[in-house]
């Protein structure tokens, strides 16, 4: 009688172990390393200290030139802006954005690197901020 | 062997099902003998000087045991003028209105004690107590002992607290008008016109203005006098030159400032924790129901200004302020 329980249990555990061992590996951030090689920014948002957008229009993302051009309202406090990147599936951003970022040095635009899902492709995007001018 | 365990489990499951299906018959609760009491605090949010803390104190005994002769509240710090215990017991009518029935004389407050002496033959009442927070309670905590006395000699009491009294101040519905009373003082929590601003130049922290400038969004603004770039067309009164730090906020509709349905409260700790490093000294394009954290030039005061209302035509802003002295 016992063998009816022991044999299926051993089989189930073996299947689970095998499935577990063939899963995708994870990187240093605990994120899955997948087979995807795509590496680009799909959307970009810029928020002020009140967590409201400061863009006057949608950001222009050039995935070939790896640039993001964004125009912000007159009077925007450039020292305290929170950029938000939307990336292609499985990609990640370096450095990570954990607080408000200072964009006030317009001559030295900020850069972020997008890393593909397979962690083999890296593309550095430059964010150019322009401020709406008073006529 | 296995069959034995299965049978045992089946019996247990059956027992569980039977218990679950058994209906419990409702029976009317029996009122306890003796004088009973209970109390709830009705007000929410930080307790501030000048405001009320409201309680509802209920007391009752069986009709056969006697009637209530008095109710009393004792606070650890005497309440300010306006502290009272209602002499009416309320019930809610079919229209949802609270209807009060006088049960005794108006309350008498002597020092820390407020007493209502019952004149009606009643064995149950719920009285509301309004404690007007006095200046001497600022930054301290206050406790209350509610008590009731019955004609049969029984007494009962209920302790409430401790309640911390905030250090901050609040001022509601100040009206700022572009080109007139547009100089805002956090120190005084007041709005001045040009003459008043000249007389209180060192205390002027913000200037309110409204501009419609084609090509940009400026609208309603609260700008430090020091930042003239965002004060187009403004000639500041002599000596008005402070540079206060400002942080814009949205979706922070403090219940006490906004008096809207949002259950958000700004308390002393919020002023202590906010970081004004790198904060600018201007805020433009302010909208109704937005807010502004402000730190005065000398760092003595921190405030939160809530914009209750803006009027584009009249070029006006109605604002309410909570302020804490941090230095």
Instruction: Provide CATH code, domain B36-164.
Output: 2.60.40.3550
Greater pLDDT, B204 or B91: B204
For residue A19, the model assigns a pLDDT of: 55
Segment B124-139, tens digit of pLDDT:
999 999 999 999 999 9
Residue with tokens 């938000």: A84
Sign of CA dihedral B198, B299, B255, B217: positive
Are the Cβ atoms of B284 and A49 closer than 8 angstroms? Answer: no
**How confident is the model over B138-164, as a mean pLDDT?**
96
Are the Cβ atoms of B290 and A50 closer than 8 angstroms? Answer: yes
d(CA B208, CA A65): 44
Are the Cβ atoms of A77 and B280 closer than 8 angstroms? Answer: yes
Question: How long, in residues, is chain B?
Answer: 327
Best mutation target among B253, B280, B282 (most A Cβ atoms within 10 Å) is B280
For residue A1, the model assigns a pLDDT of: 54
Burial of B284 per CB tally in 10 Å (0-12, 13-18, 19+): buried
**Chain CA centroid to CA A107, Å:** 24
- Is residue B90 predicted with pLDDT exceeding 90? no
Segment B93-149, tens digit of pLDDT:
999 998 999 999 999 999 999 999 999 999 999 999 999 999 999 999 999 999 999
d(CA B300, CA B298): 5
For chain B, domain boundaries: 36-164, 169-325
Best mutation target among B220, B248, B289 (most A Cβ atoms within 10 Å) is B248
Are the Cβ atoms of A135 and B278 closer than 8 angstroms? Answer: no
Binning pLDDT at 50, 70 and 90, where does residue B18 land?
A: low
- Kindly report the average pLDDT of chain B as a whole number: 93
d(CA A101, CA A98): 9
The end-to-end CA distance of chain B, in Å, is: 79
Residue with tokens 């309640």: B163
- Is residue B55 predicted with pLDDT exceeding 70? yes
Segment A56-115, tens digit of pLDDT:
999 999 999 999 999 999 999 999 999 999 999 999 999 999 999 999 999 999 999 999
- Write out the two tokens for A111: 């850069």
ipTM of the complex: 0.79
Binning pLDDT at 50, 70 and 90, where does residue A15 land?
A: low
CATH architecture of the domain with range A25-131: Sandwich (2.60)
Q: Could you tell me if B282 and B276 are in contact, meaning their C-beta atoms sit under 8 angstroms apart?
A: no
Binning pLDDT at 50, 70 and 90, where does residue A22 land?
A: low
Element (H, E) at A20: helix A3-21
Binning pLDDT at 50, 70 and 90, where does residue B24 land?
A: confident
- Is residue A121 predicted with pLDDT exceeding 60? yes
For residue B199, the model assigns a pLDDT of: 96
**Chain CA centroid to CA B238, Å:** 38
The helix/strand/coil state of A4 is helix
Which residues from chain A sit within 8 angstroms of residue B251, using beta carbons? 51
The helix/strand/coil state of B14 is helix
d(CA A22, CA B285): 55
The end-to-end CA distance of chain A, in Å, is: 90
Per DSSP (E only), the strands in A23-117 are 41-47, 60-62, 67-72, 82-87, 92-94, 110-115
Are the Cβ atoms of A51 and B250 closer than 8 angstroms? Answer: yes
Segment A27-68, tens digit of pLDDT:
999 999 999 999 999 999 999 999 999 999 999 999 999 999
Which residues from chain B sit within 8 angstroms of residue A132, using beta carbons? 215-216
Q: In the A/B pair of chains, how many CB contacts fall below 8 A? A: 44
Q: Could you tell me if B309 and B173 are in contact, meaning their C-beta atoms sit under 8 angstroms apart?
A: no
């Amino acid at each position: 009688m016992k063998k009816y329980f022991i044999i299926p249990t051993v089989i189930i555990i073996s299947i689970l172990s095998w499935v577990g061992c063939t899963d995708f590996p994870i990187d240093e951030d605990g994120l899955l390393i997948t087979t995807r090689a795509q590496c680009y920014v799909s959307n970009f948002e810029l928020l002020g200290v009140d967590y409201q957008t400061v863009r006057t229009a949608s950001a222009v993302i050039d995935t070939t030139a790896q640039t993001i051009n964004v125009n912000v309202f007159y009077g925007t406090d450039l020292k305290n802006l929170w950029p938000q990147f939307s990336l292609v599936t499985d990609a990640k951003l370096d450095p990570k954005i954990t607080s408000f970022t200072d964009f006030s040095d317009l001559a030295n635009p900020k850069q972020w690197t997008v890393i593909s899902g397979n962690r083999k492709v890296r593309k550095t995007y430059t964010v150019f901020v322009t401020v709406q001018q008073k006529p | 062997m296995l069959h034995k365990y299965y049978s045992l489990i089946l019996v247990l499951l059956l027992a569980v099902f039977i218990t679950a299906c058994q209906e419990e018959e409702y029976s009317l609760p029996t009122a306890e003998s003796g004088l009973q009491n209970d109390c709830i605090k009705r007000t929410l949010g930080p307790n501030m000087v000048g405001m009320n803390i409201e309680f509802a104190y209920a007391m009752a005994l069986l009709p056969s045991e006697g009637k209530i002769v008095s109710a009393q509240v004792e606070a650890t710090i005497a309440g300010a003028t306006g502290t009272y215990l209602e002499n009416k017991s309320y019930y809610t009518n079919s229209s949802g209105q609270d209807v009060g029935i006088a049960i005794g004389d108006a309350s008498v407050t002597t020092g820390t004690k407020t007493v209502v002496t019952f004149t009606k033959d009643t064995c149950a009442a719920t009285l509301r107590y309004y404690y007007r927070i006095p200046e001497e309670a600022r930054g301290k905590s206050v406790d209350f002992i509610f008590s009731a006395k019955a004609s049969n000699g029984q007494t009962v009491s209920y302790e409430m607290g401790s309640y911390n009294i905030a250090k901050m101040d609040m001022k509601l519905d100040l009206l700022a008008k572009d080109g007139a009373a547009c100089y805002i003082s956090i120190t005084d929590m007041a709005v001045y016109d040009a003459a008043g601003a000249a007389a209180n130049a060192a205390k002027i922290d913000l200037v309110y203005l409204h501009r419609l400038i084609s090509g940009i969004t400026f609208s309603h603004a609260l700008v430090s006098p020091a930042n003239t770039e965002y004060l187009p067309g403004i000639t500041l009164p002599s000596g008005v030159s402070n540079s206060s730090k400002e942080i814009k906020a949205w979706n922070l509709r403090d219940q006490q400032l906004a008096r809207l349905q949002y259950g958000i409260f700004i308390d002393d700790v919020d002023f202590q924790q906010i970081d004004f490093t790198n904060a600018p000294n201007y805020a433009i394009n302010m909208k109704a129901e937005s807010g502004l954290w402000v730190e005065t030039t000398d760092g003595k005061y921190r405030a939160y200004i809530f914009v209750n209302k803006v009027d584009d035509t009249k070029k006006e802003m109605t604002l309410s302020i909570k302020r804490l002295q941090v230095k």
